[in-house]
A and B are shown apart, each in its own frame.
Chain A
Amino acid sequence: MIIEIGHFALVLALMLAATQLIVPALGAHRRDAGLMAVAPPAAVTQFVAIGVAFGVLTYAYVTSDFSVENVWANSHSAKPLIYKISGVWGNHEGSMLLWVLILALFGAAVGVFGSGLPLSFRARVLSVQAALSVAFLLFILLTSNPFMRLVPPAPEGQGLNPILQDPALAFHPPFLYAGYVGFSMAFSFAVAALWEGRIDAAWARWVRPWTLFAWAALTVGIAMGSWWAYYTLGWGGWWFWDPVENASFMPWLAGTALLHSAVVMEKREALKIWTLLLAILTFSLSLMGTFLVRSGVLTSVHAFAVDPRRGIAILAILGVFIGGSLALYAWRAGDLKAGGLFQPISREGALVLNNVLLTTAAATVLIGTLYPLGLEALNGAKISVGAPYFDRTFVPLMIPLLVAMPVGALLSWKRGDLRAALQRLVAAAIAALVFGALAVALVRRGPWLAPLALMLGGWVVFGALTEWGARIKAFSSSFDESARRARNLPRSAHGAMLAHVGVGLVVIGITGATAWNSETVSTITPGETVSIAGYGLTFRGAAPRRGPNYQETVGRFDVTRGLRPVTTLEPTKRIFTAPRQATTQAAIYNALAGDLYVVLGDALDGGGYVVRAYFHPLVRLIWIGALVMGLGGLLSMSDRRLRVGAARRARTGADAPLPAE
């Protein structure tokens, strides 16, 4: 009965979304405030209805209701509670439901907090959001319904893929989807602006907080996936240029470009038309990312044909939203007035360079990801495009971007002075040089190019600090004065500094992990010692242990550095019972300089084991850097200027009613 309530709530949500699509649009067309006012309550109730459906599915998972086909196929009663909950979105149907839940949440947020938007504009935004809801709800109900019953009910479920039973991966999809779906706000705002035929700097102010949130969530989501790969796949790889990763990386690159072009639009009213296109492209890549992963088209063009109904529905949704919005853009963009002018050497010019490089990078990833599919569909030839391709095409685009980053941030708007900007960066350049030289002095091996890459990372970090330091006059006035200036600085300035520092940290982490990685593989018996990167690992034997839904073999290693004991590491090999599958759990010790990473391999006759030990220098900075970037995004988002409703106060003066803060 409860299941049917969830099913019914989903149908109800579809009806509400259809109402929200049609009525406000009609109202905006006829300038009828009454019809337009339908949008916010429709958005809120739609969210409630989808929330009920999602709650019901979660309930079915938590109570292991195997009369529901979806629960039976993806859950097991012996699973720990957290993985019963994460199992809800660990499958196609449930993940689509999570997708629309987040979509509806954003729609409801516009309904509740969007009172500062012009009435007709808000109606149009919510109408576009509802169009997305309708498409996805129809897709779920017609091809991917999670509420289908299993008759007769099964006594036990088939279990969740053990690889997904992991804390980082449990929360990886919600972050990723918050990012993908968050960009739908930029999309809806862009389509509404084209529809209304009006766009100004306020548009950028409304769109930026949503985009910042989506971007921060996507950054953290991608980092979580990478971290998971690092400790699960058994040798410490953190990025594979796998199509599934690329699918999330493309919207990230485009979204990063969007954030920066929206700044130009807000401050200078320039790049308006380009920003609209970028908003559409970013969400189009998000849509494509969702579907590339969900449709199975990535593993093979043929997998797509296994369920033609889903495949065709997916193509139709992509066609309608991407094709439709681009057609609208082609039709209406000419009517919009282009804004401010600027010299090539200026803050705007630097941000244009940022946009050119980032969108080209996104296009490169797109080409590399889709090319094999296209070629196979065209003439049946099968080729692979892997890491070596991206190393040669993507990385060269990032180098000028990183070199230019600190310089661009120091140029003034409209017309910049390159020489002055470079002069102010002399200290940062020297610091970066010293940083690289230190690396050469400390580590006397590895590729000679690695110190240069480290310097590039240092340049970005010190450059970001220089810009921030200049704004608070950290070096030219008293501490109190600097502290006062830091307090008065808009939060977006602190956020930008943090995000840029994060980028530099990621570069440093990637360099360290790539260039100075060391590894050893050996066969050892209890009592023997392996040494790596100055650490000694003494094998103390292996013993079986029972987990809630798995059996594992635990290896014990006493770690010493010189004569000093450091820690004990316990890498394990797990065999899950349902479904029967083996996973390896690496044991990792976080030293200051990097990670000591130990994996237990196969057992040999006579009590010996194959043991792989690695030292991954600085690798942690990759994820710390990503977190710092995400934090910077959130800090920027909390800027007063960007708060929902701030735009209205600025426009109508002080006597307007203050929205709740």
Chain B
Amino acid sequence: MRIEFAFLRAALMAMTLSTAALAVEPGERLADPLLEARARAVSAELRCLVCQNQSIDDSNAPLARDLRVLVRERLASGSSDADVVSFVVDRYGEFVLLRPRFGWHTALLWLGPASLLAFVMLMLWKRQRAYSASLASDPSVQPLTEDEQKRLARALAKDVADI
């Protein structure tokens, strides 16, 4: 179970680690590669406000450029990633975040998919239980005898691939 969970998280993170992009101009880049990598990660989560659904990291619009430079300036002056993001949100509103913050106004957005899945699984489980219960209480349904089980196993083993 533990291994399965770790694998799930691993594969999930592999998908999310997007390194694509680059509207970043040569002159904008920070000399420190670590700081530059942080700037890229922060930029990927910020929306270019004048574009259709592009992050500032992907867009070559002038406004996106200004924001990229701003992000790098704040990071270079020692701000944390979270500080930079809240600074940008304070200036431009939550619209600028491509990953909306969790809160009352986004509860349904974030919890909707998981609760839907949980609900459907629960319904299926209940149905299955009801079906098993109805089988168990049905006198006309008898378990196979040993002989019958053997015959069934032989028949099944014969050619499963043909079914």
Contacts and interface: CB of A to CB of B under 8 A. Distances in A.
A420 B157 CA distance: 11
A360 B53 contact: no
Contact residue range for chain A?
Answer: 35 or more
Contact residue range for chain B?
Answer: 35 or more
B161 A521 contact: no
Contact of A375 (B24, B44, B105): B105
B47 interface: yes
A341 B94 contact: no
B33 to A, nearest CB: 13
Interface string A452-482: 1100100000000000001101000000000
A393 B12 contact: no
Nearest to A393: B113
Nearest to B135: A341
Contacts of A242: 52-53
Contact of B22 (A393, A511, A519): A519
A654 interface: no
Given A521-B26, A610-B25, A382 B14 contact: no
B69 to A, nearest CB: 15
Interface in B113-127: 113-114, 116-117, 120-121, 124
Given A360-B116, A383-B95, A453 B22 contact: no
B52 to A, nearest CB: 7
A612 interface: yes
A392 B160 CA distance: 40
A139 interface: no
A235 B14 CA distance: 20
A234 B54 CA distance: 13
Contacts of B121: 356
A203 to B, nearest CB: 23
B53 A521 contact: no
A393 B12 CA distance: 10
B19 interface: yes
B20 A385 contact: no
B109 A371 contact: yes
Given A235-B58, A363-B113, A387 B98 contact: yes
A334 interface: no
A394 B95 CA distance: 21
Contacts of A363: 112-113, 116
Contacts of B116: 360, 363-364
Contact of B108 (A367, A389, A412): A367
Contacts of A243: 53
Interface string A352-383: 10001100100110011001000100010111
B81 interface: no
Nearest to B15: A395
Contacts of B16: 388, 391-392, 395
A57 interface: no
Interface in A150-174: none
A199 to B, nearest CB: 20
Given A387-B18, A400-B8, A452-B7, 6 more contacts: A235-B21, A344-B128, A387-B44, A397-B113, A452-B14, A610-B25
Interface of A: 234-237, 240-243, 299, 341, 344, 352, 356-357, 360, 363-364, 367-368, 371, 375, 379, 381-389, 391-397, 399-400, 412-413, 420, 447, 449-450, 452-453, 456, 470-471, 473, 510-511, 513-515, 517, 519, 521-523, 610, 612, 614
11 contacts: A352-B124, A367-B108, A371-B109, A385-B100, A388-B45, A391-B16, A395-B15, A412-B160, A447-B14, A452-B7, A610-B25
